[in-house]
Amino acid sequence: MKFQLFLTKHTNQITLVTGILIVLGMLSKYLLQFTLGYQVILAVASIIAVIPIAVRAWSALRNKVFSIELLVSIAVIGAFIIGEFNESAIVTFLFLFGSYLESKTLQKTRTAIKGLTDMSPTTATLVTDDGTEEVDVDDVDEGDVVLVKTGSQVPVDGIVVEGNGYLNEASITGEARQINKQLKDSVYSGTMVENGYLKIKATQVGDDTTFAKIIELVEEAQDTKSKAEKFIDRFAQYYTPAVLVLAVLVFAFSRDFRLAITVLVLGCPGALVIGAPVSNVAGIGNGAKRGILIKGGEVVDTFAKVDTLVFDKTGTLTEGNTAVTTMHTYTNNADNQLALAAAIEGVSDHPLGQAIVSYADQQSVGVAPVLDDTGTVKGQGICAQVGKQEVVIGNQKMLTAHNIKLNPTQLKDLNDLQAGGQSTVIMAVDGQVQLIFGIADTIRPGVKDSLAALKAQGIKKLVMLTGDNELTAQAVANELNLDEVHANLLPEEKVEYVKKLKAAGNTVAFIGDGINDSPSIANADIGIAMGSGTDVAIDTSDVVLMQSSFPALVHARGLAKKTVSNTRENIFIAIATVAFLLIGLIFGYIYMASGMFVHEASILVVIFNAMRLINFQTKFDKQQPTKTIQAATA
């Protein structure tokens, strides 16, 4: 074991020595005309180079695996028997050099993992009774309070208990923008405080943090095999013994030992074995760099076949937060009336009222009037006394209770808003309607364009399933050009509809928030969670979109298709190379050393082809701002 580790550690040096000896051997033969010295030098080079190859072959044989190294080792022994030391030296050198280039280029496909692990926090400033103390991040327990200053990383998942700051959450979402964090806000390990300071009470530490789970998921995903890889693994188990048998048969019928040995060399299935996994690793790495977690090669395969996308509404297609979308005014002093409405709704915690307060803040309407008295009428709204004015604000029931009537124009405006699926709030002062608000859950930015891009990628059907009422659901569906919409559904009814789509022969992806929709996510062919890494989102889904953005969904779908296409290209390159070598062998154009050169070159071709996935972008991506972890941390 120690000898094997030594050889593995010094393979690069062995490759270099072998190359130098081959050069010296060639100089000895062609410049010094010293044939014997040439043969001795190349024999020594062959022995030095074949040792690590033979050790790997023996290790594989002990595990009942017929590896590529076994074919090369037998070929070298055969070359020694027939005295072709130049062939054996060149074959072993090319094999070692190809393995070196392969390992170096494969490292580049794992840049997402390296980028994430480099950002892992290692220390934390623990707040104690005596002040603060610098400790190892593994020594922080749940419930401890840590201090994070400007320029430092958040070492735990937790809740802000003191302070204010702007955080760069690119390590979690892949999106390079600063987010303000205040009292009671959630923060995540691995994020960076760009400005300010925070005291954070730890809720998740160590391997339980969102950041640690992301790293673990990406590592596991890159090691999870696709169907193509599983097939190739099974194929390789039988392929190597078949090549050995073929070489024996060639010798038995032709009595040409050199030809049999050459068959062994040309039979190495290197490009075929490496082609699928390198595409898988590069594709998943591209996604991780953009805050898209794809859980393995099999998920990539299935996602590429998806033809039906099913969406939850609230928190997925929409922001999940109500906002004023329309305000009809029937007065000359609209700003003052808006300030009055915000002042009254400020005493309520109702979502519709809070939407009006937020809207007034955005409009900068000025100082709120002083309220003399307020009273809430359950299910209707609020009554208020402001000086000599009597103000009511609420729904139509509130107006009816106070004998306030809408004129035809106001009634039309109200009906139009309600027909559009919006909730309505009416404010009247001294019996006269002054304002009508249309309030709705706002659609996420870029959703409509993203859905059009998904259609262009080959998605045939876009379906929305929601527990909301029919009017609201239909209004959203009409705006987004969805193919189907089903409203007033309970979670179990959503699951049944997903199963119905699958039974009809569709390959279904369900996109939800990862919490309420986790049953549907689990039952779909591909479950996709929108959200910033909740436990349920990560555990239940196949794909997690850390940015909660639809452009990320477009990229994920395009990436899956491109990765599958890239894998097929690599398999074609590998098979075409074997065919080329066999044809060249039959017609006498390919020999042992030249065959090994072509073989190693084909491995590098499939690796470089796969590496194109690292920088893959869809046409839709090129229209969007570039947001990557690397950009965020540069």
459-517, pLDDT tens digit by residue? 999 999 987 767 778 888 888 999 999 987 877 788 899 999 999 999 999 998 755 57
CA distance 620 to 622: 5
DSSP-based three-state secondary structure for 294: strand
Show the CA angle centred on residue 181, arms to residues 177 and 183, nearest 5°: 175
Mean pLDDT value of segment 577-598: 79
CA distance 400 to 391: 14
* 452-to-441, 448, 497 alpha-carbon distances in Å: 21, 6, 23
List 144, 157, 301, 312, catalytic entry? 312
Quick one: which H or E segment has residue 411? helix 408-419
Helical residues (DSSP H) of 31-84, grouped into ranges: 35-62, 68-81
pLDDT given at position 549: 84
User: Half-sphere exposure of residue 308, counting CA atoms within 13 Å on the CB side?
Assistant: 20
Residue 480 is encoded by which pair of tokens?
A: 């987004």
Which one-letter amino acid corresponds to residue 581? L
Whether the model pTM is above 0.85 = no
Partners of 371 in the beta sheet? none
Q: Is 381 left (phi over 0), alpha (psi -120 to 50) or beta?
A: left
Q: Give yes or no for residue 634 having a pLDDT over 50.
A: no
User: Half-sphere exposure of residue 561, counting CA atoms within 13 Å on the CB side?
Assistant: 15
| Mean pLDDT estimate for the chain | 80
* List of residues 6+ apart from 413 with CB closer than 8 A: 328, 436
CA distance 136 to 334: 58
Cβ contact 290:174 at 8 Å? yes
378-408, pLDDT tens digit by residue? 778 899 998 888 999 998 888 999 999 999 9
241-284, pLDDT tens digit by residue? 777 888 888 888 888 887 887 777 676 666 676 777 778 888 88
CA distance 431 to 423: 22
Question: Which residue, among 220, 229, 273, has the nearest Cα to 113 in the 3D structure?
Answer: 220
CA distance 295 to 307: 19
Mean pLDDT value of segment 146-172: 84
Quick one: which H or E segment has residue 610? helix 592-611
141 is catalytic: no
Residue 453 is encoded by which pair of tokens?
A: 């891009």
Confidence tier at 63 by pLDDT (50, 70, 90): confident
Residue 183 is encoded by which pair of tokens?
A: 């009292």
Instruction: Report CA 93 to chain centroid distance, whole Å.
Output: 39
Mean pLDDT value of segment 316-337: 86
Going by the DSSP 8-state scheme, the letter that residue 387 receives in this structure is T
Which one-letter amino acid corresponds to residue 526? I
Helical residues (DSSP H) of 481-517, grouped into ranges: 491-503
Percent of the chain scored above 70 by pLDDT?
Answer: 81
CA distance 571 to 367: 70
CA distance 149 to 196: 6
CA distance 434 to 426: 8
